[in-house]
Structure 1
């Protein structure tokens, strides 16, 4: 059973190939690391996997666990995304950012999610009132607020100290253990201890 299948997807910008053809499947219950140096196409691949970029070649096929709709229109209860830009709503509290996502469906325990991400004490604060690392953990919480089928995370520990990087990775591991397919693009060496397998991009042919 698969959640998502990518077949020979590639991408170029302005005649420069940023992602060479690659194929793989994402299955429920696994956390997959996406590694490679800067410029190897990790973020581009995540955007293609989520339906926000169209590959120049190849295809992206949702499995039977996802609705039969274009990926770019996939409801939040099926697709959770942690962008590098974080992208919280500044006018909403941390708790309300998670609650807004949760309104689309799903059954995640938001109080427990805030607690496990060490955010409970910041629940009533605005994003501008907390640190960048805390904002990033809130973005992880928002992505997981609906207990989605597919989770895509782009460098989700880049603003974390070692302790909180472990907190984030452990929570993503829990999401996989609960049945999600989780794809994490990261340079963080701590990720290896939490993953089921690794997809490596080299930028020079993978």
Structure 2
């Protein structure tokens, strides 16, 4: 699905990511672990095409036609940022409909314990409920690639499992799923752990 070859990134004098090689095959859930500042979010942003690496390349496999091969610029990516970033003027259901292009996503709202909140706006629900809605929005159009940055950080244990179940189901349907997490439970859901430290892959 996606290959990173020699990808590196610096911000001024700070080296956020040293040359990294990684493969993200379809149907796999991989979890990035490591301390804060180890490069997890930078690697996610590059894999999803929202940051351009200083060196190396990000290559879809098989190659997608009419797209630059040095970064992912295609639209079939579901993204759960740490900032959540729902549209505040829309209800939770409408946030999903916007991502899907039509009304839908009731199954995801139910799976993530959000059905009773579907008609509320983000400002009318808790931070954890907003985060689960962001996960539902990322998954609703069945994207080929799912990128999630700390998707359980605002969840209690039970609802963290709902989030991880939904991400696991996306991988089982054939998506390549890459998440960054400090939650040890996430590793148990993953096919592979990629451990980062000081911008380098330590294992995985």
Q: Please give the range of the TM-score, normalised by the shorter of the 2 chains.
A: over 0.9
| 62-71 vs 196-205, which moves further | 62-71
Deviation, structure 1 residue 158: 0.5
Q: How many residues align?
A: 199
Q: 1:93 to 1:150 in 2, by over 3 A?
A: same
SS of corresponding position for 1:167: helix
**C-alpha distance in 2 between matches for 1:204 and 1:173:** 26
Checking the alignment, whether the CA contact within 8 Å between 1:67 and 1:74 is kept in structure 2 is no
Q: Identify the match of residue 156 of structure 2 among 154, 157, 161.
A: 161
Q: 1:174 to 1:68 in 2, by over 3 A?
A: farther
Checking the alignment, whether the CA contact within 8 Å between 1:11 and 1:18 is kept in structure 2 is yes
- Would you identify which runs of 4 or more consecutive aligned residues in structure 1 move more than 4 Å? 65-68
In the alignment, which residue of structure 1 is the partner of 2:110?
Answer: 115
Q: 1:175 to 1:129 in 2, by over 3 A?
A: same
1:13 aligns with 2:11: yes
Q: Identify the match of residue 58 of structure 2 among 46, 60, 63.
A: 60
In the alignment, which residue of structure 2 is the partner of 1:74?
Answer: 74
TM-score, length basis structure 1: 0.92
Q: 1:4 to 1:166 in 2, by over 3 A?
A: same
**C-alpha distance in 1 between matches for 2:7 and 2:109:** 36
Checking the alignment, whether the CA contact within 8 Å between 1:65 and 1:149 is kept in structure 2 is no
State how 1:32-111 maps to structure 2 within 5 Å.
32-64=30-62, 68-70=66-68, 71=71, 73-75=73-75, 78-103=76-101, 110-111=105-106
**C-alpha distance in 2 between matches for 1:30 and 1:167:** 18
Q: CA RMSD in A?
A: 1.7
In the alignment, which residue of structure 2 is the partner of 1:196?
Answer: 191
In the alignment, which residue of structure 1 is the partner of 2:147?
Answer: 152
1:138 aligns with 2:133: yes
In the alignment, which residue of structure 1 is the partner of 2:173?
Answer: 178
Checking the alignment, whether the CA contact within 8 Å between 2:58 and 2:72 is kept in structure 1 is no
In the alignment, which residue of structure 2 is the partner of 1:128?
Answer: 123
Task: Structure 1: give runs of 5+ residues left out of the alignment.
Answer: none
Checking the alignment, whether the CA contact within 8 Å between 1:62 and 1:68 is kept in structure 2 is no
